[in-house]
Amino acid sequence: MRTLRNLAPGPVLFAALALAGCQGGAPDAALTPDGAATRPPAVDAPLTATTWTVGAVDGTAAPAGREARFSLAPDGQVSGTLGCNRFSAPVTVTGTTLTIGPPATTRMACEGPAGEQERVLTALFAAGPLTWRVHDRTLTLTAPDGRNLTAEAGSAAE
């Protein structure tokens, strides 16, 4: 039968302290000048490969019950629903602007608030280069004439 030799406590303690010193505080934490740890801000959702749900157009809340959603694919397509009809269109993203090309849509007759939302969104998407910004998982698209929409990030686009 073998027995283990007693290890001297000095080297073991030194190794344990050295390894503990390699561990930082919170992961990805940074230190402020006074030595306090700070966390980086939450990562915003990416423009592409995210499903965006329209929350408001020009400050007016989207109608309840007929959510408009869209996602921009990395291959240069935008698709989704305008609240009534589905659509797909080419999209070009250059820096902080995006341009949506002519859409292909289904052709259901849309009346009431959903129909109005669809008309407003179609006009906004066709208004020319839109400036985009994502902050706190909210996308803002602004047309050259100042019209805008806000959309909330949902799940990753499938």
**Taking residues 53-69, what's their average pLDDT?**
90
Name beta bridge partners: 90.
77
Q: Domain limits of the chain?
A: 9-38, 50-156
The pTM of this model reads 0.70
Quick: pLDDT tens for 64-82: 888 999 999 999 999 999 9
Q: In whole angstroms, give the CA distance from residue 37 to residue 64.
A: 43
Q: In whole angstroms, give the CA distance from residue 73 to residue 93.
A: 11
Quick: pLDDT tens for 125-157: 999 999 999 999 999 999 999 999 999 999 765
Q: If we measure between CA atoms, which residue out of 139, 129, 130, 145 comes closest to residue 68?
A: 139
Judged by DSSP in three states, 156 sits in strand
Q: Residue 87 has what pLDDT?
A: 96
Judged by DSSP in three states, 132 sits in strand
Q: In whole angstroms, give the CA distance from residue 105 to residue 82.
A: 9
Sequence-ordered list of residues with C-beta below 8 angstroms from that of 115, at least 6 positions apart, any chain: 84, 109
Helix (H) or strand (E) holding 140, with range, is strand 138-142
Quick: pLDDT tens for 8-46: 544 443 443 343 444 444 444 445 565 555 555 556 789
Q: Residue 16 has what pLDDT?
A: 39
Q: Residue 109 has what pLDDT?
A: 84
**Taking residues 49-71, what's their average pLDDT?**
92
Q: Residue 139 has what pLDDT?
A: 97
Please check the confidence at residue 94 and state whether its pLDDT lies above 60.
yes
CATH of domain 50-156: 2.40.128.270
**Taking residues 84-93, what's their average pLDDT?**
95
**70 vs 7, residue with greater confidence:** 70
Q: How many residues does the chain have?
A: 158
Q: If we measure between CA atoms, which residue out of 51, 44, 49, 54 comes closest to residue 136?
A: 44
- In this structure, are residues 84 and 96 in contact, taking their beta carbons and an 8 Å threshold? no
Q: Residue 43 has what pLDDT?
A: 63
